[in-house]
């Protein structure tokens, strides 16, 4: 960042207008504008007055705050690392959703797979609620299929009619 941008940022951080700063330094507002746009530079006396008025060191105005730059770089790398880990969490949600729908096809095994998927599901997944809903539907569907198999084996729900004639 060049001197003009640092001057403008410092002024805006303090909430001053260019007119306020010009009045304080007893110069024209156009001079402040030229400094902030990089068209000219303040002399040493004005630079000292600016640093006092903005409550920053001359070193910060001229070179920028190196410690702040280092902290910013560290925060940016942390944000980048967090966004990469979020991608893997989102992928896990999609994988769980696919496994939930596949457990519909494996009727008896769906009763075992669905509770495992519900346990694995986390609030950070993008499809968090959809996975729960699909797992509950899968369990209900699998119970219906198992009931049908057992009903066929044991003859539940079938009636026989004897002809007495």
CA atoms within 13 Å, Cβ hemisphere of 49: 13
Average pLDDT over residues 75-84: 73
Q: Which two tokens stand for residue 35?
A: 């400094």
Burial of 75 (0-12, 13-18, 19+ CB in 10 A): exposed
Task: Convert the pLDDT of each residue in 17-43 to its tens digit.
Answer: 999 999 999 999 999 999 989 898 888
Task: Convert the pLDDT of each residue in 96-119 to its tens digit.
Answer: 899 999 998 888 889 999 999 999
pTM above 0.95, yes or no: no
């Amino acid at each position: 960042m060049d001197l003009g941008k640092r001057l403008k940022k410092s002024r805006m951080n303090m909430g001053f207008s260019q007119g306020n700063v010009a009045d304080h330094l007893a110069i024209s507002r156009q001079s402040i504008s030229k400094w902030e746009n990089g068209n000219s530079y303040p002399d040493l006396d004005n630079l000292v007055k600016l640093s006092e008025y903005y409550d920053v060191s001359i070193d910060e105005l001229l070179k920028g705050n190196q410690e702040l730059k280092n902290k910013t770089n560290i925060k940016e790398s942390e944000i980048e690392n967090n966004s990469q880990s979020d991608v893997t969490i989102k992928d896990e949600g999609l994988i769980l959703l696919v496994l939930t729908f596949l457990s519909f096809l494996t009727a008896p095994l769906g009763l075992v797979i669905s509770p495992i998927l519900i346990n694995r599901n986390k609030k950070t997944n993008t499809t968090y609620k959809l996975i729960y809903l699909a797992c509950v539907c899968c369990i209900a569907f699998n119970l219906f299929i198992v009931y049908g198999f057992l009903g066929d084996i044991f003859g539940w729900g079938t009636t026989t009619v004897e002809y007495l004639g």
